[in-house]
Structure formats: structure tokens, C-alpha cells
Amino acid sequence: MAFDPIEFIETKKDGMKHRPKEIQEFIRLLVSGDLPEYQAAAWLMAVIFNGLAFSETLALTQAMATSGKVYKWDTDGPPVVDKHSTGGVGDTVTLVVAPLVAAMGMRMGKHSGRGLGHTGGTIDKLESIPGFRTSLTEKEFRKIVNRVGCGVAGQDKSMTPADGILYSLRDVTSTVDQEALIASSIMSKKLAGGAMHILLEVKVGSGAFMKDPESARSLSKLMIRLGMASGRNVRTVLSSMSSPLGRAVGNALEVREAIKVLKNDTPDDDPLKRIAIEIAARLASMCGFGKIHQTRSRARSCLAGGAALSRFRDMVSAQGGDEAVIDQPEKILPHAGKILEIPSTSNGFLKTCNALIIGELVRDLGGGRKSKNDVIDSSVGILIHSRPGMKVGSGDVLCEIHTNGRISNSEAVQRAESAFKVVSRKPEIPDLFI
Ligand code: URA
Ligand code: CA
């Protein structure tokens, strides 16, 4: 029987289940342009109200994954791994993890996105390095990943076109926050990327998509099931994102921060360092490189001994970037015109630094986009001096605002101040890992 889009929408509107074949047909017609977007939008809204069963979510994920180019990696080289972090603030994990896993004997060829809304994008960060190219042909990308062990490219337009269409529609029809739609969107891209071992970091908290641990756990379970049913080894790690992960928020500032971690120039309790080590160690363990305590110590020594830094240098140079960024990041990376310091007005302990407020402020300083075509200023951002739980004295600098005046200084200062909450008694700070 021929596929009838109206009936397809009606089935979901009435809370009934689609057969996998119908979902495949829906995706095929959507990508070929034979199904209008308004019908897809109506279906998405029906999914918001009535959800998708696992069999439907799996069919949707696989149909989206195969709607465009699917990467296949040779199986005789080092294992190919991938990671994904659900959007965070001050989250520079990929810049550290990619060279770290390469140093540990894995390959990571990552397709990354640009920032949208209050969360940053890896591609925007890397492009603050003069000359760095993120637009690579498949051939160039493969060559770099196979030679260096890691490479980061922008989203390949010919991959998962179905997700591209649905994601843009969801963005403008208030249909983003549905578990099955989020899981299928993320997993379709991971399946198309071709890695056998995939670690998903799901962030929880005010700065993340998932506001509470229960919904994050439920999303995790679903993504693991989708991956396993598609023949991939998938694990997840839940981490807290109520404060920005790293000290730096903003493109060039985050690159500087990542280089610091790669130079092993940060303390062991540095959250960015901890999370990068944990992700790399778990991936290595998933690849059969040893028990988690062994791979953790291997990850630490690859950072401490400079092996990860050396892979980063090779990747920057292979992708056309100025290698001097590693030895002299302050000189090579762009600088903002003005730095405003925000001092604490009281004595006590820092309770929170609101990731959402910081993320939105950096976006409005010019570090991110409100709509797709906005041009970003990679030099602006916020450098946080104090982490939640730390003692602060009146007059101590809580953070620096790096600005070029896209919003007034008084507005920037007032918004930055509102992100920090100082209390008199030492607060309980939840651990990074949940
Ligand atoms: N990230 C994605 O790629 N897709 C979603 O739906 C949500 C987050
Ligand atoms: Ca019919």
C-alpha cells in the first residue's frame, strides 16, 4: 500500500505505533523533497504528545543514519572511537580527548558542530587558531585521522541529511525536547560516523539540555540500547553541568585552556582534565586495552609525558593551523580589546556560578550565535577565577570579562555578577560525575 503522509501523522496523533517500514518511507520522502516540511512538523508535534516506542525510535535512528553518507573505517588499524557530549558551557573536552585517545593508541575522527544558543561548538573553537581548516574532504579527513590518530572536521553536509532537516524543523517548532527525538538525532550521527566504540557524556544541570539526573539516565539508557541494537559498543557517563566545566568560556580562551591541560599545566582536580581522562580511559577500556584503573593511569601518563600534546600539535599542523599556538597561545590567539574584572563583594565561599547565565553572556558578547548566520568574535569570553566550593574574600576577582563592546560594559558586568552566588557557610558541591 502506498505511503500516505496524512495517515502517517494521524497514526501518531491517535497514539498508535508505526511499523519500521513506514518510518523508513517517511525519512526517504523527507530527504528527497517529496514530503513537505509542514507535514514533518505536524508529525514531530504528534511525537511530542504521544512519544515513540523503542522499535519506532530504532527505525528512525537507522533511517536517519543511512539517509546520507556512512563512514566505514578499515578494521586492521587502531580501533576507531567516538565521543559526544550533550551541549555544555565552557566545554572543551573534545580538544583534549581527541589527541589523548590518539596518544593511547586509538583513532578518533570527529565531526563536530558549531555553537548554537548558549552552548559552544568545537568547530568555532578550533577556528580561532589562525589557518585551522575544519572543512575537509573525506579523503583529507581519513588521511589525517589515519596518520595522526585524530582529526576534527565540521559536519559533513552529505551525512545524515534527514537529521539536518528534522533538527532545523524542531528548532523552530518547539519540538526539540523529546527523549526519542534527541536520542535518535544524536545516535544517527554517531552511527553514520562509523566508530565501533562510542562514549556519550550526558550533562545534567542548569546549563544542560537535561535538567535532572532521572531524565539524563533515561536518555542514556535509550541511546545505549539504540547503539547496541545497531552493532556498536556504546557507554555513557553522566556529569554535572550547573557551573561551566572549564575556567574559560569563549572560543579562543577555551583553546588556550585546552592547551594548558594538554601541557599538564593544571591541577589534578581540574574538572576539564578529570573529565578528559575519564572519557579517554573508558574508551580505551571499551576497546579492550585494560581494566578501567589501568587505562586511567595510562591516560594520565599520556598527558603528563607530553604524548597527547604532541598529537595535538600534529593535528593542528595537519589541518593547516599555526603550530606556534602551542608554544605561544597568548601571542597567536586573538585578544579582546578590554578586560573587566568582577570582584566579590563579600567574604565566604562560592556556591554557584550559573552556566546558563555565563553561556548567554558570552554569546551576547559576540562569542556565539543567536541565529545561524551570525558572525562570531572568537576573542571574547569569560575567564572564571573561582570554582564552586572555593573560599573567596571580598575584593577577590571572581571572573574576567573579555569584551569588544558588543554589549555595554555595565550590562556585561551586571550580568556576570548575577551568575555568582557567594555564601557564608561552606556549601555542599555535587561531584562532577553523577
Ligand atoms: N544534540 C543533537 O545532535 N540532537 C538533539 O536533538 C539534541 C542535541
Ligand atoms: Ca491510506
- pLDDT, residue 90, reads 67
The topology under which CATH files domain 80-327 is Pyrimidine Nucleoside Phosphorylase; Chain A, domain 2 (3.40.1030)
- Per-residue pLDDT tens for 246-261? 899 999 999 999 999 9
In this prediction, residue 1 carries a pLDDT of: 66
User: What architecture does CATH give domain 335-423?
Assistant: Alpha-Beta Complex (3.90)
For 131-192, the three-class secondary structure string (H helix, E strand, C coil) is: CCCCCCCHHHHHHHHHHHCEEEEECCCCCCHHHHHHHHHHHHCCCCCCHHHHHHHHHHHHHH
Burial class of residue 320, CB neighbours in 10 A (0-12, 13-18, 19+): middle
Q: Which three cell numbers stand for residue 134?
A: 575544519
- Contact between 382 and 356 under an 8 Å Cβ cutoff? The reply is no
Task: Answer yes or no: are the C-beta atoms of 152 and 133 closer than 8 Å.
Answer: no
Assess contact for 336 and 402: CB atoms under 8 A: yes
Query: How far does the centroid of ligand 1 lie from the alpha carbon of residue 372, in Å?
Result: 16
CA terminus-to-terminus distance, the chain: 49
* Owner of C-alpha cell 553518507: 69
Distance 186 CA to ligand 1 centre (A): 5
Nine-digit cell string for 345: 563583594
- Same fold for the domain at 5-51 and the one at 335-423? no
Chain segment 5-39, per-residue pLDDT in tens: 999 999 999 999 999 999 999 999 999 999 999 99
Residue ranges in the chain whose pLDDT is less than 50: none
Cα-to-chain-centroid distance, residue 14: 35
What's the 167 CA to ligand 1 centre distance in angstroms? 8
CB environment 179-216: b (16+ within 10 A), e (fewer): bbbbbbbbbbbbbbbbbbbbbbbbbbbbbbbbeeeebb
Domain boundaries defined on the chain: 5-51, 80-327, 335-423
Residues with CB under 6 A from ligand 1: 86, 181-182, 185-186
Q: Which runs of consecutive H residues, i.e. helices, occur in 4-131? A: 5-13, 20-32, 37-50, 54-65, 93-103, 122-126
Is 388:351 a contact under the CB 8 Å cutoff?
yes
Question: From atom 5 of ligand 1, which residue's Cα is the shortest distance away?
Answer: 182
pLDDT recorded at residue 85: 87
Largest CA distance in the chain: 73
- DSSP letter string over 94-105? HHHHHHHHHHTT
For the CA of 176, the nearest atom of ligand 1: 6
Supply the pTM of this predicted model: 0.94
**Which ligand neighbours the alpha carbon of 22 most closely?**
2
With H, G, I as helix, E, B as strand and everything else as coil, classify residue 299: helix
Q: Annotated catalytic, 247?
A: no
State which fold the 5-51 domain adopts: 1.20.970
Ligand minimally distant from the alpha carbon of residue 3: 2
